[in-house]
Chain A
């Protein structure tokens, strides 16, 4: 029977475990809430991964990992045309821009990142296409799944905890009024500083994540740290359109509303 179903019934961890134990070859296609991921395996080992419309090409991966400069990346895009990743990899190695190890390490990291993002998906449909392999022109890796599964399970627990702490990314952040909270005395990482620079009640956490190119897990991790340190607090975004006006009061008249609240106060007092 075809391997297909719903992530609510069968989690990514269970799927990877099954693929690992059955030494499957093929591609797992996961349709998540907002994008689709394709992860390919050979004999139960991770070979390749692609998510949504992200550019999963070798040049893009090496550029993001700072192995290629912006100029080199631009030049490759303009001149390399339809050259395959395998050919591009050889060219870059021969030109001395990168080593074979650079290529493999960064590809492995990129594919691992994609799989770990999948661990946070709890909604969606999956299907496993037996014997469907990644495009010919892409470089494949061979990564054992055991470590990925263990790391993914750890991340899932962290993700659940972070979701409890920061349930909505549509809220904003503001600095606390605590007089002893001084950002200059705190050792922040570059990533944390990037987030801090966008903190403003007008920016939602989601907008900050987009501006700093962080995924949900990364932004939640940083915001959680800032919250725990008492440097920021969550607030409703300023200037955001008000939520649909659910009728709180049976009347629109302000004086009548006030009178109604006063009647409630008197009644509760008399209980």
Chain B
């Protein structure tokens, strides 16, 4: 059995666990714990402390694993371990919480430094009324026009599929580009 992996990262409460849950064929193996910080508890009750783990069986020989990183900075020692050998990564950003954009940018730069693998950035919660527009977010996140920046609703399977597919297209394009 061959296995490959992709990493889903992003700030605290960006929707990484939901994203993986939407496409994983198994119940996401989530290492969530009740949040101890009063400030963070106002956003959600539990958070991922080590990783989320989802699986998509491609065929009898191939399995894709999806790893979600913990979003809180104090668990960033896990990031490099999770990024090892990944095909590519997705940075999920909460479109309704501009206060997390700077952190999202930092996470993106950190992962770029780990490995020169393709990546896409997904603006989650685009279905929410107070979501920022994509072009404004692109500027705020200082994303180059060449970086794939996609709208996303992590609870919607089709939306998550689109993000995963765009990442796979980037991986394929880079492989083909590398052969020239």
Contact = CB atoms under 8 A, between A and B. Distances in A.
Interface of A: 161, 163-168, 170-171, 176, 227, 230, 233-234, 236, 242-243, 246-251, 254, 257-258, 260-265, 267-269, 271
Contacts of A247: 85
Interface string B1-13: 0111000000000
Given A168-B113, A170-B113, A227-B142, A260 B172 contact: no
Interface range on chain B: under 10, 10 to 19, 20 to 34, or 35 or more?
35 or more
B106 A164 contact: yes
Interface stretch (B27-35, B39-47, B128-136, B160-168): B160-168
B84 interface: yes
Given A165-B105, A248-B85, A260-B62, A271 B161 contact: yes
A167 B59 contact: no
19 contacts: A164-B102, A164-B105, A165-B105, A165-B109, A167-B109, A230-B142, A233-B144, A243-B114, A243-B115, A248-B117, A250-B2, A258-B172, A258-B175, A261-B87, A261-B175, A263-B62, A264-B62, A267-B64, A268-B165
Given A243-B115, A246-B85, A250-B2, A268 B56 contact: yes
A166 to B, nearest CB: 7
Contacts, number: 95
B116 A234 contact: no
Contact of A248 (B86, B110, B176): B86
B169 interface: yes
A246 B113 contact: no
Given A164-B106, A168-B109, A246-B85, A261 B161 contact: no
B157 interface: yes
Given A164-B106, A267-B56, A268-B161, A171 B112 contact: yes
Nearest to B143: A233
Contacts of A164: 102-103, 105-106
B171 interface: yes
Contacts of B38: none
Interface of B: 2-4, 23, 56-59, 62, 64, 84-87, 102-103, 105-106, 109-110, 112-117, 142, 144, 157, 161, 164-165, 168-169, 171-172, 175-176, 179
Contacts of A260: 2, 4, 62
Contacts of B3: 250
Nearest to A169: B113
B112 to A, nearest CB: 7
Nearest to B88: A248
A257 to B, nearest CB: 6
A190 B2 CA distance: 55
Given A164-B103, A165-B102, A271-B161, A264 B168 contact: yes
A246 B115 contact: yes
B2 A261 contact: no
B87 A263 contact: no
